[in-house]
Structure 1
Amino acid sequence: MKKTIWTLLLVMFSMSTFAQSYFEDGLSSEWHSERRAELRKLMPANSAAVFFNNPVKNRTNDVDFIYHPNTDFFYFTGFREPNAVLVIFSEKREVNGGLADELIFVQNRDPRAEMWNGKRLGTEGMVANLGFQEALLNSDFAAKSGINLKDFDKILTFSLSEDIEGSSSNEPLIQMVNEFKTATAYPDALTEVSAQVYEMIKNSDLKSSDRVVQMLKRYERQYPDMMEDPLISSFMNAASPEKRMVVKEEIPEQKLDISSLGEMMGVLREIKTPEEITLLKKAVKISAVGQVEVMKAAKVGMTEREIQGVHEFIYKRYGAEELGYPSIVGGGNNGCILHYIENDKRDLSDRLLLMDLGAEWRGYTADVTRTIPINGKFNEEEKAIYDLVYQAQEAGIAISKPGTTFQEIDAAGRQIINDGLAKLGIIKKGEGHQYFPHGTSHHIGLDVHDRGTRNPIQVGMVFTIEPGIYIPIGSDCDEKWWGIAVRIEDDILITEEGAVNLSGDAPRTVAAIEEMMRLPSVLEEWVLPEID
């Protein structure tokens, strides 16, 4: 009888699970397959690329965080379940009696687990829904995959964590990672930093070794632990270029490569396809509407958490599945904390409100920031700082076209801010300061700080332009400037015609913001009962 019940459950889950994709309006299985084909073009001959999906993360006790897949893994698969690994071959090879250029290993169908934790695609669903020719169970990763990793000249992957949470939810992943490490003789001390340093040393010669040492000294300031590696330490401390070359020869040749795959992913993911741009536009539009509606609803006496809730309600109202990152809602001096996420200020009665939020739509995230006066009108000092940031952003947008670099965009805005702060008497002309402590641009996509390269801007890139000025209480300037924090952040698409501001629906100028804040809010009639 029990067997019959579980069989019926499995049939029901099978019928309800096999839709076209997780998102009917998301990326197609053909799109993901094309992305895998593009990676093969970048891979060296006779190589394999191995992608493990993210582990489950525990929130507290027996409650886990909402699962989010590794974005590289999702980019190639569209798959959103844990305990999975994707292996992509540079060329077709014989596997289990047939030819294949990829294999994916996933968790099994389990009616009891699915009743508690949601549907699983299983191997059949991977073929029927996500376009894989063959899928295997994760329990077969080592035993029945037909892959001998020793046959490859290069095995591309990422640095593998030593601290995957050891709950039962992650047991299959831990098993696969351990099997992979055994098969590849994965060194215990291998990290992305040491791999990059080894690569720099291996590529050095007598003429370039001095320059490489200078680069490694900069690395050392950020990653002091790297000097614990005797080969790296010996190279940096060698008495002459000739002795460095002796150390260089001691670095072992590795089939395992944990640095090149990140570079390949940067090349692929920094240029968005038309399908990705469609999803990003939707994420940004939703986020811009959130900013607009909060401008209408904001008033003295509201709380940071209340403002956060309005934004996130709008995201959910449009069907966004998640936030792209923790919401930043900083009133007054809290806006000077760049990644302020506590959002627990209870009485927004003082001055400016900085709101940095982004909806995630079908895996792709926006990143939009607006700064508004909570009482509806900028005072003289706030307006002066705001206009400086606005002019800096306008300068960056104006030069955003194919061939421009992020460094040039940053320099254009930074010059305006530096000159403006000096003119206002906040700094002396030419003086260094920390009032604009962050960069101006980063790619957005599957990650809010998306993968990319240092290449000049190209058609198809989507990135932020986000200058800011932050003057914390206690700063070395007139007190009238204290507590002012302004950031304006927009999401820019580069086309053949130039820059398109995808988040332009959210007002950016002082006049436009003040006008929007005078309009009635759809939430004004939404009055909740008092709770003691």
Structure 2
Amino acid sequence: MKKIFWTLLLLVCSLSVFSQSYFEDGLSSEWHKGRRDELRKLMPANSVAVFFNNPVKNRTNDVDYIYHPDTDFFYLTGFREPNAVLVIFSEEREVNGNVTNEQIFLQNRDPRAEMWNGKRLGTEGMKSELGFKDAILNSEFAAKSGINLQDFDKILTFSLSEGIEESSTNQPLIQMVDEFKTATAYPEKLNEASAQIYKLIKNSDLETSDRVVQMLKRYERQYPDMMDDPLISSFMNADSPEKRMVVKEEIPEQKLDISSLASLMAALREVKTPEEIALLKKAVKISAVGQIEVMKAAKVGMTEREIQGVHEFIYKRYGAEELGYPSIVGAGNNGCILHYIENDKRDLTDRLLLMDLGAEWRGYTADVTRTIPINGKFNEEEKAIYELVYQAQEAGIALSKPGATFQEIDAAGRKIIDEGLAKLGIIKKGASHQYFPHGTSHHIGLDVHDRGTRNPLQEGMVFTIEPGIYIPEGSDCDPKWWGIGVRIEDDILITADGAENLSGDAPRSVAAIEEMMRLPSVLEEWVLPEID
């Protein structure tokens, strides 16, 4: 029976897809340690921060998705295995007879599992390769950690309200989360929304309580269940600021803080170090080459998925380990769907092709979009819309420098697009519309929508500028504009005195795109056999 059990276990393990590679040309263990040290400087006195790595997610039956670590966890550790917890102390303290300021808990070495899924670091590997002195087996998270969480004034973590997918693979993580909740008396209904609401109420006073109530009413539309909380309900229903202050005093002080850590990590991650910038530049460069080669290879009769495959082949050819996000390849009206990922349209004809893709290089992702005419030539309407988007992006890039804001960049582009759409007769002058429905910029880094604030730009920030116009079929305008979707997206690095367009190698202007599409493709001689 025991032999049968192990045979079945190994069969299941063989279909679990983990990713435990460590990059010789990635970030060093010293770099990750430096990030932990920087986080300590931001943490409150006598506090502890607890980070749980991502669970394994099931794809179907006994096949799991390729494992991707939580990006905060990776940022602070460089570790890429599941069932791990990082504990950071704001100050050094004595734990189990040793003075330390951090602990990491991880899975054990297991020859049987490693035979199927790859090498695990184990505690000794964690010490030698990633530089942790206190590396402890995850089975000892509660029993032998040597810490009492209640000794801290603040316990910082993220919301643990969502359950972890039940599986034998995730069982160690589930156990550690349960032990953490017990040790911190984690409230049953605590989530990010309720934590943020409590913080708003606690920070209110007689003069600001009216504004806080208005904010909470907006929250209520998104989180109607929040009124089930008697303290929140009492605060909102109180008929005077004085009565609200009475309710405020009833909200207990919580050691457990699930809202502040996100802000601390955003402040830490929004400005990239030189090491991060080097990795981002490589990711963006690869993605730009993908756009260039597709411009040369694109032809009438290809499919969206074929175009997607060319991009992703180029990423892999250069050694990129992953995609930063699902590839978006939308022809014609599909280009008007912002997050279109089906990519299943066949036999592309003479419409625009919107391609939003990014390679992930050593954990860091690019985000580059180009829109091209599949037949190599923009028609009159396509060119008119494209030029508006191009001018809007140019205006945003021109504004990009230290001290500028995302709001200024967005406003400059919207002004050009609004005035241009009115001039073309697509909208009435000054009318609101949904033809540019998304924001113009977001940070990029370990996440395609990376952690960061909306504070003024600083040297070392890397973000997108991506105006767009989308006129889906059936829109309230002349049908000649229907099905035109254009987005141009570039990755911008703020320098000491301006900005550098990291993805500028990929042609952006109408003339440059059409010229590139006339060049021969290296894939023209790649002919595969027909399959019925």
TM > 0.5 fold call:
yes
Which amino acid in 2 is paired with 1:386?
A: Y
In structure 2, the residue matched to 1:62 is: 62
Residue 452 of structure 1 aligns to a residue in which SS? coil
CA deviation profile, 1:203-238 (whole Å, cap 9, x unmatched): 000001011111222222233332222211221121
CA RMSD of aligned residues (A): 1.3
Q: Tell me if the contact between 1:402 and 1:459 (Cα under 8 Å) persists in the aligned partners.
A: yes
Alpha-carbon distance in 1 for matches of 2:239, 2:57: 47
CA deviation profile, 1:29-60 (whole Å, cap 9, x unmatched): 00000000000000001000000000000000
Structure 1: runs of 5+ lacking an equivalent: 1-19
Alpha-carbon distance in 1 for matches of 2:220, 2:196: 12
Which amino acid in 1 is paired with 2:489?
A: E
Q: How far did 1:21 drift?
A: 7.8
Residue 155 of structure 2 is aligned to residue 155 of structure 1:
yes
In structure 2, the residue matched to 1:382 is: 382
- Which one is further off, 240-249 or 95-104? 240-249
Q: Tell me if the contact between 2:161 and 2:190 (Cα under 8 Å) persists in the aligned partners.
A: no
CA deviation profile, 1:361-387 (whole Å, cap 9, x unmatched): 000000000000000000000000000
Which amino acid in 1 is paired with 2:104?
A: I
Which amino acid in 2 is paired with 1:110?
A: D
Residue 302 of structure 2 is aligned to residue 302 of structure 1:
yes
Alpha-carbon distance in 2 for matches of 1:299, 1:386: 20
Which amino acid in 2 is paired with 1:221?
A: R
In structure 2, the residue matched to 1:25 is: 25
Residue 376 of structure 1 aligns to a residue in which SS? coil
Structure 2: runs of 5+ lacking an equivalent: 1-19
Which amino acid in 2 is paired with 1:67?
A: Y
In structure 1, the residue matched to 2:526 is: 526
Alpha-carbon distance in 1 for matches of 2:352, 2:21: 43
What is the TM-score with the length of structure 1 in the denominator?
0.96
Q: Tell me if the contact between 1:21 and 1:28 (Cα under 8 Å) persists in the aligned partners.
A: no
Which amino acid in 1 is paired with 2:192?
A: E
What does residue range 215-230 of structure 1 map to in structure 2 within 5 Å? 215-230=215-230
Q: Tell me if the contact between 1:21 and 1:130 (Cα under 8 Å) persists in the aligned partners.
A: no
Q: Tell me if the contact between 1:331 and 1:350 (Cα under 8 Å) persists in the aligned partners.
A: no
In structure 2, the residue matched to 1:400 is: 400
Residue 143 of structure 1 aligns to a residue in which SS? coil
Alpha-carbon distance in 2 for matches of 1:96, 1:454: 42
Which amino acid in 1 is paired with 2:61?
A: N
What does residue range 19-418 of structure 1 map to in structure 2 within 5 Å? 22-418=22-418
Alpha-carbon distance in 1 for matches of 2:352, 2:233: 50
Alpha-carbon distance in 2 for matches of 1:360, 1:233: 45
Distance 1:154 1:337, change over 3 A: same
Q: Tell me if the contact between 2:105 and 2:135 (Cα under 8 Å) persists in the aligned partners.
A: yes
Number of equivalenced pairs: 515
What does residue range 466-485 of structure 1 map to in structure 2 within 5 Å? 466-485=466-485
Residue 158 of structure 1 aligns to a residue in which SS? coil
Q: Tell me if the contact between 1:103 and 1:135 (Cα under 8 Å) persists in the aligned partners.
A: yes
Q: Tell me if the contact between 1:331 and 1:354 (Cα under 8 Å) persists in the aligned partners.
A: yes
Alpha-carbon distance in 2 for matches of 1:478, 1:372: 22
Q: Tell me if the contact between 1:303 and 1:347 (Cα under 8 Å) persists in the aligned partners.
A: yes
Alpha-carbon distance in 1 for matches of 2:409, 2:216: 28
In structure 2, the residue matched to 1:449 is: 449
Alpha-carbon distance in 1 for matches of 2:314, 2:374: 19
Q: How far did 1:404 drift?
A: 0.9
Q: How far did 1:161 drift?
A: 4.0
Alpha-carbon distance in 2 for matches of 1:224, 1:525: 59
Which amino acid in 1 is paired with 2:434?
A: Q
Which amino acid in 1 is paired with 2:95?
A: V
Residue 378 of structure 2 aligns to a residue in which SS? coil
In structure 2, the residue matched to 1:10 is: none
In structure 2, the residue matched to 1:465 is: 465
Alpha-carbon distance in 2 for matches of 1:94, 1:475: 66
Q: How far did 1:494 drift?
A: 0.1
Q: Tell me if the contact between 2:87 and 2:102 (Cα under 8 Å) persists in the aligned partners.
A: yes
Which amino acid in 2 is paired with 1:109?
A: R
Residue 170 of structure 2 aligns to a residue in which SS? helix
Which amino acid in 2 is paired with 1:75?
A: Y
Q: Tell me if the contact between 1:21 and 1:129 (Cα under 8 Å) persists in the aligned partners.
A: no
Q: Tell me if the contact between 1:21 and 1:29 (Cα under 8 Å) persists in the aligned partners.
A: no
CA deviation profile, 1:262-306 (whole Å, cap 9, x unmatched): 000010000000000000000000000000000000000100000
Q: Tell me if the contact between 1:461 and 1:494 (Cα under 8 Å) persists in the aligned partners.
A: yes
Q: Tell me if the contact between 1:157 and 1:261 (Cα under 8 Å) persists in the aligned partners.
A: yes
Residue 491 of structure 1 aligns to a residue in which SS? strand
Which amino acid in 1 is paired with 2:437?
A: P
Alpha-carbon distance in 1 for matches of 2:519, 2:356: 22
- Which one is further off, 409-418 or 156-165? 156-165
What is the TM-score with the length of structure 2 in the denominator?
0.96
Residue 169 of structure 1 aligns to a residue in which SS? coil
